Amino acid sequence: MRLELQELAAVSRRLGSDLRYVFLGGGNTSFKDAETLYIKPSGVALSAIQPEQFIAMDREALQQLMQAPMPADGREREAKVKLLMTAAVRPESTGRPSVEAPLHELLPFPFVVHLHPTLVNGMTCGVNGREACRKLFPESVWMDYIDPGFTLAQAAAAFLKKQAQPPRILFLQNHGVFIGGESLTAIETEYTRMLDTLAAACRAAGVALELPVTESADAETVLATAPVLRTLLGSGETRAIVAAAGWFAPAPGPLTPDHLVYAKAFAHTGEITPAALDAYRAERGYAPRVVGVPGKAVFTAGSSLKDTRDVLVAAHDAALVVQYTQAFGGPRYLTDRERGFIENWEVESYRRSIAQGGQNASGNRLAAKVAVITGAAQGFGLGIARGLAAEGAIVVVADLNLDGAKKVAADLETEFGAGRAFAAGVNVSDEASVAAMALEITRACGGFDLFVANAGVLRAGSVKTLSKADWDFVTAVNYTGYFLCVKHAARVMAAQKADGRGPWGDIVQINSKSGLQGSNKNGAYAGGKFGAIGLTQSFAMELVEDQIKVNSVCPGNFFEGPLWSDPERGLFVQYLRANKVPGATSIADVKKFYESKVPMGRGCRPEDVVRAILYTVEQPYETGQAIPVTGGQVMLHA
């Protein structure tokens, strides 16, 4: 691997991870030698680029592309350029070349770095940006706004021919800046000087460098607004993912292509009612991605958690750009024609879809659904969390063991992608803790589609000797904890029903075979589980009016889980030491004895439970049921 590409990748990652220079890994970097241009591919974030990912392109082919006859129609022209650009890619490279490759080829420097610093866009999006540029950066050149893509490359070629010498700094109105140089060190130094100069200009004009943002959206606003927005900003049977942030004034219009692509052109800050948002859709052709409750909160919406978080980053950056433009004559927004080109540009749609990393795979049964699992740091809960993530859900790993939950969530994100899981701490037997968990999830996602009440504990013992402390502990978690979770989950899920719209939600309690038949010397556990089925039936009758189904899944013994298989405290070890299984001389003997009690010859596994959960979600005509998943060990009858 060439040393220059290793250096380029390192600098790209450093700059691409710094919000002063780009947001969401945007921008582009390149290196060229006599024959080849190496450039970041479309859809790959600067913050993550590796040396081997730079696409190698034939420079002669790129130069010929600039001379090729082109159709007059803009769409047809861009389609032809796409084909010629692909043909210029050398066989050893993979990926789609950046649409900016011709422009990088035009700048006659070994290294070219194109970034979108917020301070730079404060000037390039300013009404008086050109005049400020001449004053602050007399060695640079300025190009008025041109549609991105090959149209920009053609205009730049004609523009650069008129220059006495190739400029090292090229500012693009409403689009950022290109800097070329013989070394990356020189380019980084120039960027630092540029940002220092612009910051000084803002301070001199009395413009603050930080965006005023309220600390956080208050709980009342979040719980009253976010769940409703999930439904009103969603599509059919799919709710949007909605995140809540502290209030800042959203940009009133589109500023740059990147802002427009991620956050759409216009925020909605009017009434949050079905009629108002229907009117917005009718006027714009899409739902808003940014919704403001003035003085209270900013809500951002997307089709995945990553998407929604990205919208917030873009909206925050756009608001800061508007603030900086006050030092340069106020904002110059993209015109309707300029905006329309970007909104319908295939290149940006492709780039955004790649950046999302397959977050919205439609083949998954729970795609874009938010699923909360309590007690998910280990055992059945962990298996359920992984199984639901595999089906496309955004998984909230809720557990008293927050460190364990964070590890599980991190592992799920590693396996399934960024934004596919996060952790929440909760003690299900404490109402304040449950309420805080519900609020935290609503802030992050807007609500949830599936709540799996899985947290449970076991303290076995004879009714003649079991302490009241152990009885209270088991009952507080397994019975009262279920009630508390449903109480606060149902409030959020009911609020998602906006004007009768939106899909049904699901609450699934993970019960036990001990909730279907008694368990010897295990009365506290069995009693709580029996009682919980009564709660399930009662909750189902009440919550049907809120379009919430409530069911219980009753697994058999999870022999591979820690309750049974822990090498020091598991039941297999305990039963072997206590000689509970006659003739058993090993853990394997004990396990075989208990497996023999199951007609299907094995214990229950997480995937068995996941299938039952999926059944309850997908079956529209099932509520108030207790579904045995016991391999035939427990068979229900009337």
Domain containing residue 39: CATH number? 3.40.225.10
Residue 265 counted as domain residue: yes
Domain tally, the chain: 3
What does the pLDDT average to over 49-65? Answer: 94
Instruction: Choose one of 355, 380, 398: the last residue of a domain.
Output: 355
pLDDT tens digits along 221-267: 999 999 999 999 998 889 999 999 999 999 999 999 999 999 999 99
Cα–Cα distances (Å) from 402 to 119, 322, 379, 422, 456, in that order, read 39, 39, 15, 11, 16
**What is the structure's pLDDT at 519?**
87
Q: Please provide the DSSP assignment of 264-290 as one string.
A: -S--B-S--SHHHHHHHHHHHSS--SE
Task: Give the contacts of 284 (CB within 8 A, at least 6 positions apart).
Answer: 264, 265, 266
What does the pLDDT average to over 191-208? Answer: 98
**What is the structure's pLDDT at 171?**
97
Cα–Cα distances (Å) from 408 to 8, 165, 617, in that order, read 34, 57, 24
**Two structure tokens written together for 596:** 């023999």
Write a three-state SS string for 332-378. CCCCHHHHHHHHCCHHHHHHHHHHCCCCCCCCCCCCCCEEEEECCCC
The helix (run of H) or strand (run of E) holding residue 234 is: none
Instruction: Choose one of 355, 385, 409: the last residue of a domain.
Output: 355
Decide: 389 and 412 in contact? Cβ < 8 Å.
yes
**What is the structure's pLDDT at 580?**
80
**What is the structure's pLDDT at 215?**
86
Q: Which residues pair with 32 in a beta bridge?
A: 37
pLDDT tens digits along 280-296: 999 999 999 999 999 99
Residue 583 counted as domain residue: no
Residue 251 counted as domain residue: yes
Residues in the chain: 638
Indicate the Cα dihedral angle 519, 521, 524, 526, nearest 10°.
0
Shared domain for 233 and 177, answered yes or no, is no
**What is the structure's pLDDT at 61?**
94
Write a three-state SS string for 235-253. ECCECCEEEEEECCCCCCC
Q: Band of the pLDDT at 359, cuts 50, 70, 90?
A: very low
- Three-class SS of residue 399? strand
What does the pLDDT average to over 563-570? Answer: 85
Residue 116 counted as domain residue: yes
pLDDT > 70 in the chain, percent: 97
Tell me 51's DSSP state.
G
Domain containing residue 413: CATH number? 3.40.50.720
Shared domain for 264 and 388, answered yes or no, is no
Active site (catalytic) residues = 525
**What is the structure's pLDDT at 96?**
86
What does the pLDDT average to over 354-369? Answer: 65
Residue 336 clears pLDDT 70, i.e. is over it: yes
Shared domain for 388 and 522, answered yes or no, is yes
Task: Give the contacts of 423 (CB within 8 A, at least 6 positions apart).
Answer: 396, 397, 398, 399, 402, 405, 406, 408, 409
C-alpha 2, offset from chain centre: 35
Closest CA to 606 of 629, 638, 578: 629
Shared domain for 346 and 377, answered yes or no, is no
Shared domain for 408 and 453, answered yes or no, is yes
Shared domain for 473 and 541, answered yes or no, is yes
Distance between start and end Cα atoms, the chain: 71
Q: Band of the pLDDT at 522, cuts 50, 70, 90?
A: confident
Closest CA to 448 of 231, 635, 298, 632: 231
Q: Band of the pLDDT at 149, cuts 50, 70, 90?
A: confident
Shared domain for 58 and 160, answered yes or no, is yes
Which domain covers residue 547, as residue numbers? Answer: 370-552+615-629
Mean pLDDT of the chain: 92
Residue 354 clears pLDDT 70, i.e. is over it: no
Shared domain for 468 and 503, answered yes or no, is yes
Residue 637 clears pLDDT 80, i.e. is over it: no
Shared domain for 7 and 135, answered yes or no, is yes
Residue 45 counted as domain residue: yes
Q: Band of the pLDDT at 362, cuts 50, 70, 90?
A: very low
Instruction: Choose one of 355, 383, 411: the last residue of a domain.
Output: 355
**What is the structure's pLDDT at 79?**
81
Shared domain for 242 and 121, answered yes or no, is no
pLDDT tens digits along 533-551: 999 999 999 999 999 999 9
The helix (run of H) or strand (run of E) holding residue 394 is: strand 394-399
Q: Lowest-confidence range among 50-64, 134-148, 234-248, 556-570?
A: 556-570
Q: Band of the pLDDT at 385, cuts 50, 70, 90?
A: very high
**What is the structure's pLDDT at 360?**
45
Indicate the Cα dihedral angle 308, 313, 315, 319, nearest 10°.
160
Closest CA to 535 of 455, 459, 478, 450: 478
Residue 638 clears pLDDT 60, i.e. is over it: no
Residue 634 counted as domain residue: no
Shared domain for 67 and 165, answered yes or no, is yes
Shared domain for 293 and 424, answered yes or no, is no
